[in-house]
Structure 1
Amino acid sequence: MTNPTPVIFIHGLWLHASSWDPWADVFAGEGYQPLAPGWPGDSATVAESRENPESIADHGVDDVVDHYAAIIADLPARPILIGHSFGGMIAQKLLGQDLAVAAVAIDAAQIKGDLPLPLSALRATLPVFKNPANKHKAVTLTSEQFRYAFGNALSEEESDALYQRWTIPAPGRPLFEAATANFNPHASTKVDTHNSSRGPLLLMSGGKDHTVPESVVKATAAQYRHSEAVTDLIDFPDRGHSLTIDSGWQAVAAAALDWLRRQSL
């Protein structure tokens, strides 16, 4: 009997790793081996992470990539990666380094070379950028800021419930790194989009996403045009940035599972 394929879930800014728990249950039921490790500095629970923002602060993209690469190195086989927001960008970096057999990047943060920066994305990240000192700090969203950045396609009641359940402070450094990437030849958000030997990649977008608008995801997809490896794109027109945690998450998970089956994974 073969060992189950590992699946590593990678969260993005402002969500705790435990927000993947419902996905992990579904993937375990389908025969995969799910893991949802936090970012460096994250505490074991939402409450503990909120109480210890200083341990979360000042971790950049390279820190997070190295953190997950070390986790992958201890696995018996290369995993499938499923990431949301900055987790989606990190999944792409690891896939480009041939550290995974496939990746699903959901509402993935912009990679180096993406040019569109819609106004909604600027507004969603303003809580970080309004103070340059936030580059070295952990920033907490208010429920109103979360509603704009994540829950704009939801009722106020559902958005507030998700905010209370899953949100934690997030390091400001990754956003500053992404904002300056196109002026930095060694940017940490640079992804090997030309790798034709990598595993398949699925990009997912939410048509109502304020934080990572559909145009950003399409710009990312276009950067893979010189790779012969599989790169697919699925759009959820009526969904916002909360699509992995809100009441419609099952449809997103089902789409990911269906795509993995079509890749014989």
Structure 2
Amino acid sequence: MTSPTPVPVVFIHGLWLHATSWAPWIDLFRQEGYAPVAPGWPGDPGTVEEARANPESIADHGIDEVVNHYASIIRALPTLPIVIGHSFGGMVAQKLLGQNLAAGAVAIDAAQIKGVLPLPLSALRATLPVFKNPGNKHRAVSLTADQFRFAFGNAVSEEESAELFERWAIPAPGKPLFEAAAANFNPHSPAKVDTANASRGPLLLMTGGKDHTVPETVVRATLKQYRHSDAVTDITDFPDRGHSLTIDGGWREVADTALDWLRRHSL
């Protein structure tokens, strides 16, 4: 008897983290019978060290280019995957789901999509390293350890934040942040998601209650954008977690929550 083909899972990282930061998730999902992959963004080198040494390879890639990159990967898969994204990867996951390129999606602390209005001060501070210079739209920008601590590691110890920074942090293109910031003034913004699609697969939004970069108010405002769709849209919150929730010592709770939700929806 032929065993069924494992369901593909495509993990999509966000700004300032390398794709290899999904390694523990990859191992867990493979053990659970899925076929997981974590491709990098366009231009991402294969390792953290290479990404730090060659920031120009990462620079100037916008939202549409990233979405099209993952769409081409998905079209080469044997069946529609589940997509799981963090931060800007969560926005990309929602766009792919809205385009019916995924069987279901989990968007973790997903970046602000078009139509979401709250812009908390902590989010402005977290992204200030990019926005302080308009020229950064076409550059790759690195965070310092202190900036990473505020944007990602504020809910873990200073020691753990420093360790995560040294292990996973890479430069990030400024372009997606500028595109998202202008989304509500641009009718054709690449940050627009087809939130009214009623034929799409299920979506789970996850939010960290202590997240500075994508605060809970942003994720709950995102949920409201889906009010015109009858497709499943759920939300789960982790009140004591920050933006590092996919990579810090509590990652397994987040991953297990995603797995439980996927099973409930037969994905």
* Category of TM-score, reference length = shorter chain: over 0.9
Determine the structure 1 residue equivalent to 2:107.
105
Deviations 1:172-209 (Å, cap 9, x if unpaired)?
Answer: 00000000000000000000000000000000000000
Determine the structure 2 residue equivalent to 1:13.
15
Determine the structure 2 residue equivalent to 1:254.
256
Between the aligned partners of 2:77 and 2:263, the Cα distance in structure 1 is 22
Q: Letter of the 1:228 partner, please give it.
A: D
TM score, norm. by length of structure 1: 1.00
Between the aligned partners of 2:107 and 2:143, the Cα distance in structure 1 is 23
Determine the structure 1 residue equivalent to 2:81.
79
Query: What secondary structure, in the 3-state scheme, does the structure 2 residue paired with 1:243 have?
Result: coil
What stretches of structure 1 move > 4 A for 4+ residues in a row? none
Q: CA deviation at 1:123?
A: 0.2
Determine the structure 2 residue equivalent to 1:233.
235
Between the aligned partners of 2:68 and 2:56, the Cα distance in structure 1 is 20
Matched, 1:178 2:180: yes
Q: CA deviation at 1:2?
A: 1.0
Between the aligned partners of 2:57 and 2:166, the Cα distance in structure 1 is 21
Matched, 1:199 2:197: no
Between the aligned partners of 2:75 and 2:207, the Cα distance in structure 1 is 29
Q: Letter of the 1:27 partner, please give it.
A: F
Q: How many residues align?
A: 265
Determine the structure 1 residue equivalent to 2:59.
57
Deviations 1:153-183 (Å, cap 9, x if unpaired)?
Answer: 0110000000000010000000000000000
Output aligned runs, 1:59-208, within 5 Å: 59-208=61-210
Deviations 1:92-148 (Å, cap 9, x if unpaired)?
Answer: 000000000000000000000000000000000000000000000000000000000
Determine the structure 1 residue equivalent to 2:44.
42
Instruction: Please report the RMSD computed on the Cα atoms of aligned residues, expressed in angstroms.
Output: 0.3
Q: Letter of the 1:53 partner, please give it.
A: P
Q: Letter of the 2:115 partner, please give it.
A: G
Between the aligned partners of 1:261 and 1:105, the Cα distance in structure 2 is 16
TM score, norm. by length of structure 2: 0.99
Query: What secondary structure, in the 3-state scheme, does the structure 2 residue paired with 1:234 have?
Result: strand
Deviations 1:20-54 (Å, cap 9, x if unpaired)?
Answer: 00000000000000000000010000000111100
Identical amino acids, percent of aligned pairs: 75
Q: Letter of the 2:9 partner, please give it.
A: V
Between the aligned partners of 2:16 and 2:87, the Cα distance in structure 1 is 10
Between the aligned partners of 1:226 and 1:173, the Cα distance in structure 2 is 30
